Structure 1
Amino acid sequence: MAASGWTTPADVVRKLRRRWERGEFLSQFTSGVPWEPLGIGLRGPSAGDAAARFEEVRSWVEQWRHERRLRIEMKSVGGRIIGANEIPARAWIDSFDQLWAVLGTQREVRGFTDLLAATKPLAPAIADWMISKPIGVLQHADEWTSLVKTVLWIDAHAHPDMYLRQVDVPGVDTKFIERHRTILSTMLDRQLPEQRIDRARPPSDFVGRYRFRSKPAHVRFRHLGENTGFSELSVRVSELADLPLDAHTVFVVENEVTYLAFPPAENAVVIFGEGYAATRLESLRWLADKDLVYWGDIDTHGLAILNRLRRTFSHARSMLMDRATLLAHESQWVREPSPTIEHLEMLLPPEAALYTDLVDDALGPAVRLEQERISYATIQQAVG
């Protein structure tokens, strides 16, 4: 708007463009709603302005006289002092074609209507959504054909035993799907029957939401007793769930080097828990019959992982995650980057008291003792 506060042609175009960017005009056009002449009121000079600021008023009126894209409705202002003068009062758009010319969007309109015409016979549900969100479609115009083909292929061929890598559309690979998963999710939510969508999973979990086969989780473990032929094994969690390990005691540790250097122990195995990934052990129901020992860092997150593990295996006990161990290694303390303050309901009273002190910084700011900083002799004593 001009410094005077009077509406300029550019102001009108900006107002129209905001509505274009919201998709209002394209939605109306492609849904078949007839155009009703659109009038936009203009803020212009008063009769007093016409007398006191004659040159400014004349200049403002002149720029509207040169405006050829809009139909301008005039009104009369003035009176006895300067006489009546005709000034612009309202700008009108009388047709869709005139609107496209004002906005310079003829190419976008043609492009969208072509995409809509091509999509409608193949995927009517997606075409209906296109009409409601035309600008979102235009943002993906270059790859729209591939997007539609991908959605139709998934609808026709995908099944729960299939990996995403098996989607077989010319020119489409898993990187394409990952890159466009947001728009693909929107389209698939409208194309697929409800039973093929897991709405408990967000669109960011594309594989889970559309029931593709997930990449299998693995667990690494070592036998700590006599040699079984392999020093270490990594197996799928789903398979290990059906094949209990032949051991009385199962240790779970966070740190990889600590896992690799874990002391020997009779009739025992050690599992690499990988921090919060330890929760993948929840499907190993046979752990309920084992002496299950968790050893993590002495910090808020280490105790949170212990708490989470106990939600499934309430009998799990902790190792070297006590106040005595922490105080005995004060010279090895470091600072925990982002402590948690969540409620941990499964901790035993001594563990809960230690957790409270860590949260409250009672022993120092964000105290942390990583398990790899604990002396090896202390580990051997705890295991032995």
Structure 2
Amino acid sequence: MITVEAARDRARTKLGRSMPEWVAEPQMEPVLTIALKPPTERQVLLDQNVSVEWATGWRLLEQKDQVSGIHVEWESRSWSRVGQQRVPVRVHFRAPDDVAQFVGGEAAHRWRRMSDRAQKIRIALDIGTVLRPLLSQRGNRILALSDAAFTQVLGATMWLRDHPQNLMRPRQLPIRGVDSKWFTEHRVLVQSLLNAAGFSEAITVLDAETRIRFRILDPSLRPGGLGDVTAPASEVRGFTVSPSVVFVVENLETLLSLPDFPGAVAIHGSGYAVDLVSHITWVKQARVIYWGDLDSHGFAILSKLRSHLFDVTSVLMDEKTLLDHRDMWVGEPKPHRGRFSKLTLPEETTLARIRDEGDVRLEQERIPWEAALTQLMRSYDHAMEHSSVRDRPREGREA
């Protein structure tokens, strides 16, 4: 038996899932029907009070909402021991507003808010059939805006539709109240509204290109003595330097602390920005040593780097380093739960230990610098040795 409250829960779920569709398109009647699963004669005999209470609940609802679009359908049951009975079998809702009325509370408030804002978008931008995919993708974002913010987003979208802009930076947009910070926060929604209105090319904003910082650790490789460089990724790719070894480190402090290493360059990996690092030609041609935090994201980044670069060795990301610095552990706020296909068996063992210990984290800067430097030098020596072997001409071939 589906009680009134159980039906209300189902209607609430349906309203949440169907909101973009119901807001965007006129609905055929009824929009929702819920089967009430009336009791059998045997169930009535086992507990007649429960059955009576269930039917009474639906009768009271019908009396209360008799002028609304909520209709309770009844059928007669002829039972040998209970006799003739009328039982509710289905409840029908004529329109989305009726579902919202039945549900009430926050869900009904969200429905009214979405309906109102969808209508304003429809009128302001003359959006018809594409309103549904827009609301499916951006409905939660639209609902989350304050009234003032929604008005401003819609106003900015209308202005950009009527005044197409080309090749501008966010701070150059000549819209009252719209600065670069505002545009960064609302850009995706504004662009989605423009796309839905058929003006996807109304604005082309030039974003600041991601910058990469690296240090040339070999004084002999520094052009004009320049050793600490921060530049757009496209310019770093074209930078003329040919290191044998490249250190990729996750934290900036580590990058700044590294001493000179002949034939080496160090790059600030900056977390998942290693994607950019892996496309630098002179990085691809070198042996890469990666040192990240000992946590799930550190290993995720390592695996990601290896998906682009074949020759990547990790350092200070082993189980012994983890356990030797137990007193330095902190909790990882949002651990990565994925599986990483490019880890070695020892690295997988270390990651498993991190998770078994309760998703702990050992940040690289917490490892005493002298101990860390010793391990870095060993990895560097090993990489240089293998680099020399790799670069050495084979017998029978010209040098």
Q: Give TM-score, length-normalised by structure 2.
A: 0.55
What code does the residue aligned with 1:42 have? L
RMSD: 5.4
1:75 Cα shift? 2.3
From 9, 12, 16, give the equivalent of 1:17: 12
1:194 Cα shift? 6.9
2:333 aligned residue: none
> Of the two, which has the highest radius of gyration?
1
User: What CA distance in whole angstroms lies between the structure 2 residues aligned with 1:7 and 1:378?
Assistant: 72
User: What CA distance in whole angstroms lies between the structure 1 residues aligned with 2:221 and 2:28?
Assistant: 83
User: What CA distance in whole angstroms lies between the structure 1 residues aligned with 2:135 and 2:173?
Assistant: 26
User: What CA distance in whole angstroms lies between the structure 2 residues aligned with 1:29 and 1:243?
Assistant: 54
User: What CA distance in whole angstroms lies between the structure 1 residues aligned with 2:46 and 2:221?
Assistant: 104
1:136 aligned residue: 140
1:274 aligned residue: 268
From 147, 155, 160, give the equivalent of 2:153: 147
User: What CA distance in whole angstroms lies between the structure 2 residues aligned with 1:365 and 1:131?
Assistant: 44
1:14 Cα shift? 1.9
User: What CA distance in whole angstroms lies between the structure 1 residues aligned with 2:268 and 2:218?
Assistant: 18
Asked if 1:359 is matched to 2:344, the reply is yes
Could you say what secondary structure the match of 2:56 adopts? Answer: helix
Query: 1:81-92, aligned counterparts within 5 Å?
Result: 81-92=81-92
2:389 aligned residue: none
1:30 Cα shift? 4.4
User: What CA distance in whole angstroms lies between the structure 2 residues aligned with 1:219 and 1:133?
Assistant: 43
Deviations 1:344-367 (A, max 9, x none): xxxxxxxxxxxxxx93559x989x
1:218 Cα shift? 4.7
Could you say what secondary structure the match of 2:9 adopts? Answer: helix
User: What CA distance in whole angstroms lies between the structure 1 residues aligned with 2:96 and 2:286?
Assistant: 72
1:66 Cα shift? 1.6
1:115 Cα shift? 1.8
Asked if 1:64 is matched to 2:66, the reply is no
Deviations 1:303-329 (A, max 9, x none): 997996789xxxxxx9xx9xxxx9xxx
Q: Which runs of 5+ in 2 are unaligned?
A: 250-254, 293-298, 326-335, 352-370, 386-399
Query: 1:53-132, aligned counterparts within 5 Å?
Result: 53-67=47-61, 68-69=64-65, 70-79=70-79, 81-104=81-104, 107-125=109-127, 128-130=130-132
Query: 1:339-350, aligned counterparts within 5 Å?
Result: 342=342
Could you say what secondary structure the match of 1:43 adopts? Answer: coil
What code does the residue aligned with 2:151 have? T
Deviations 1:104-162 (A, max 9, x none): 366545433332232224434588335763753653342433333455566655545x4
Deviations 1:190-234 (A, max 9, x none): 45767899xxxxxxxxx9xx7634234454447725998756452
User: What CA distance in whole angstroms lies between the structure 1 residues aligned with 2:223 and 2:95?
Assistant: 82
Query: 1:358-377, aligned counterparts within 5 Å?
Result: 359=344, 373=375, 374=377
1:20 Cα shift? 0.6
What code does the residue aligned with 2:57 have? Q
Asked if 1:8 is matched to 2:6, the reply is no
1:21 Cα shift? 0.6
Q: CA, structure 1 residues 80+371, in 2 after alignment: closer, same or farther (shift >3 Å)?
A: closer
1:42 aligned residue: 36
1:272 Cα shift? 3.1
**2:38–2:89 Cα contact (<8 Å) kept:** yes
1:74 Cα shift? 2.5
**2:244–2:264 Cα contact (<8 Å) kept:** yes
1:315 aligned residue: none
What code does the residue aligned with 2:219 have? L
Asked if 1:296 is matched to 2:289, the reply is yes
**1:163–1:214 Cα contact (<8 Å) kept:** no
Higher helix share: 2
User: What CA distance in whole angstroms lies between the structure 1 residues aligned with 2:340 and 2:83?
Assistant: 76
What code does the residue aligned with 2:153 have? L
User: What CA distance in whole angstroms lies between the structure 2 residues aligned with 1:27 and 1:241?
Assistant: 47
1:43 Cα shift? 1.7
Q: Which runs of 5+ in 1 are unaligned?
A: 1-5, 198-206, 264-268, 312-317, 327-332, 343-357
Q: CA, structure 1 residues 239+94, in 2 after alignment: closer, same or farther (shift >3 Å)?
A: closer
1:33 aligned residue: 27
1:17 Cα shift? 1.7
**1:224–1:270 Cα contact (<8 Å) kept:** no
**2:170–2:206 Cα contact (<8 Å) kept:** no
1:16 Cα shift? 1.8
**1:253–1:294 Cα contact (<8 Å) kept:** yes
Does 33-42 or 113-122 show the bigger shift? 33-42
User: What CA distance in whole angstroms lies between the structure 2 residues aligned with 1:131 and 1:307?
Assistant: 34
Could you say what secondary structure the match of 1:36 adopts? Answer: coil
User: What CA distance in whole angstroms lies between the structure 2 residues aligned with 1:58 and 1:310?
Assistant: 72
User: What CA distance in whole angstroms lies between the structure 1 residues aligned with 2:303 and 2:32?
Assistant: 65
1:22 Cα shift? 0.8
Does 82-91 or 121-130 show the bigger shift? 121-130
